[in-house]
Amino acid sequence: MKARAPVWSLLLLGFACQPEETVSTPPAGPSPQVEPEWFQSVVDTALADLEGQGLVTVSATELREVLELLETSQLPGRVGALARRDLQSRPPLFLNGALMDILESRESTTAQRRLAYAWLEQVGVAAVMPRLLLRRKYEKDLLAYVALARALLKLENGGALEGLLDLLQREEAGIEEIRRQAAAALALLPETEEWQPGGSFEQDWAHLLACRHSWFLQRELVPGEGPPAPFDSHLQAEVWRMIDRLNSQALRPVDDARFVLGSLPLNVVGLLCQATRERSHYVREAVMQTLSWRLGHVCGRFARRSDFQWAAHFETMLDEPRSRTRVLEALGAAGLAEAVPVLQSWLETGSWEEKTAAADALLRCADDSALSMLQGFRQKDIPLSAEATYSLQLLEHALDPNAAPPAPPESLAQGEKERRDRWLFDRQHRPGSETLDQENMPAAESGSKPGESQSLR
């Protein structure tokens, strides 16, 4: 069949000749000064409900005592045994809180951090996960990073698998002991019918890739079915404290929180969806960025396994103008075709930015049933941005190989082109479309490798 002409590009060029008034007016919504009915004080309410839960706040005196016991526990004989027994007798939430304080202190030595991670491998509780995950961003000592990865694996969290994989693949001289310890950490991966620890390194490597694949798709080391396991109240408290960090104009606490929230087990999606109703604009924006940028298709798997109505949840939020483009982005990020009718409406009637957000979202979630809609939309000569034009070109060609090959508009920035090319690549891991080769995974999120700084997109 003969390829069709690249009409998307003609639409973009045609817009330059049209007056600005031809842009469609978006559907009426409430004034920005009027709060939608769905605005709630979600974070404050959750923190109040969970008061007294989570890791214990440790005093400076108690922290010094724990640190002394940690160092004494290294001694041989009766003295070391007594110190270890004393530490093990402490309430788990207290001890986990103290160990995290040691890890987060700038005054702690490398040896003290390695020791604290080793103890968390033994006594770690689920509530320590958020703060422990953040250490991936700041821990620069490679042996300490391996100990961090071990502690996370004991909690069935795969947030440091990329780091272990990176260490095992490094070939520079002088890190033989680090690679040996990284290989030994693979014994902590969950057992399956196909794999038990103690086999060959080749078997361990294959299992590592399988666990990494599962973690990438649904934030579980072993694929599960049905609703994801709920968080206990202590972990919930720590997650809500991390979400509370998003209520900030300063960039670092927001970046830190997004970095952590994107690496928690699958059920974090449910808590983040609750937080999308938060009246704080800062929290809403950052939560939806986390869902769209850090989690994406993982959200779709949560929705399917939990029977969560993803499109309906976010459609009700489109009456709030300030967050509308973020809502459209989140609608598509989950990779669920149920969002297509909502996105089609905004593609046709939204503002310039809203039409771009809707086109991008369609690229991430539309299935074959959207092809006739796309073909009909092309005939309406609705002006689009360069970004929206390229997204729809990519989508139509993905759904119909006989369509004209994508031709990026000249005005499209290279970074914007690459982002949409990545979304096209990511279509293969939409829920129900898992064809991803374990050996050909997408690039790891920045900041997930030892000693690497992180960026968001």
- Give per-residue pLDDT as tens, 44-82: 999 999 999 999 999 999 999 999 999 999 999 999 999
In angstroms, the CA 229 to CA 295 distance is 18
> pLDDT digits over 420-445, tens only?
999 999 999 999 876 555 555 555 55
Within 8 A by CB and 6+ apart from 192, the residues are 207, 222
Residue 351, pLDDT above cutoff 80: yes
Residue 15, pLDDT above cutoff 90: no
CATH 1.25.10.10 maps onto the chain at 60-191
Average pLDDT, the chain: 91
> pLDDT digits over 241-296, tens only?
999 999 999 999 999 999 999 999 999 999 999 999 999 999 999 999 999 999 99
For residue 213, give Cα distances in angstroms to 134, 143, 207, 263, 437: 22, 25, 10, 14, 9
Share of the chain above pLDDT 90, in %: 83
What letter does residue 40 receive in the DSSP assignment?
Answer: B
> pLDDT digits over 196-205, tens only?
998 999 999 9
- According to CATH, the topology of domain 60-191 is Leucine-rich Repeat Variant (1.25.10)
Looking at domain 233-432, which CATH architecture does it have?
Alpha Horseshoe (1.25)
In angstroms, the CA 393 to CA 423 distance is 13
Residue 18, pLDDT above cutoff 90: no
- Using left for φ > 0, alpha for ψ between -120 and 50, and beta otherwise, residue 197 falls in beta
> pLDDT digits over 170-221, tens only?
998 899 999 999 999 999 999 999 999 989 999 999 999 999 999 999 999 9
- At residue 9 the predicted structure's pLDDT band, cuts being 50, 70 and 90, is low
Task: Look at residue 170 in the predicted model and tell me its pLDDT.
Answer: 94
